[in-house]
Amino acid sequence: YRDQGTQFDVVIMDPPKFTESKAQLNGACRGYKDINMLAMQILKPGGTLLTYSCSGLMDQVLFQKIIADAAVDANRQVKFVERFEQAADHPTDTAYPEGFYLKGFACKVL
């Protein structure tokens, strides 16, 4: 779509988990950055990006930074409108932070 110049009002990014080990985390970060950058390139100015990660080894702060970095690479500005996390029927344990695996953001992309 990008190469054809097609743009959308809303893009939803809900990929499978990109990493299963800490050794793969850097590659996963690059992957999330790349797909979010590409998503931003096909959004109309003012469009909404809904983006998610189900990689338990990536915390919400890192995921938000990746999205912000993707915006820089896409030459776009991003406003974080809402934050999402897994529902109460997926409880987490403080002894196992990777159990907090689902995170997401609704972003306005300018």
**35 belongs to a structural domain:** yes
Q: Which domain holds residue 51?
A: 8-109
Split into its structural domains, the chain has a count of 1
Asked if 29 is an active-site residue, the reply is no
**From 38, 54, 68, 106, the catalytic residue:** 54
Strand partners, 10: 48
**1 belongs to a structural domain:** no
**CA distances (Å), 34 to each of 51, 64, 86, 104, 106, in order?**
12, 14, 24, 16, 17
pLDDT digits (tens, 9 = 90+) for 29-77: 999 999 999 999 999 999 999 999 998 889 999 999 999 999 999 999 9
pTM of the model: 0.89
**2 belongs to a structural domain:** no
Residue 84, token pair as written in the block: 């999402």
**72 belongs to a structural domain:** yes
Nearest to 35, CA basis, from 61, 55, 59: 55
Which CATH number is 87's domain given?
A: 3.40.50.150
- Given this model, what pLDDT does residue 65 score? 98
**78 belongs to a structural domain:** yes
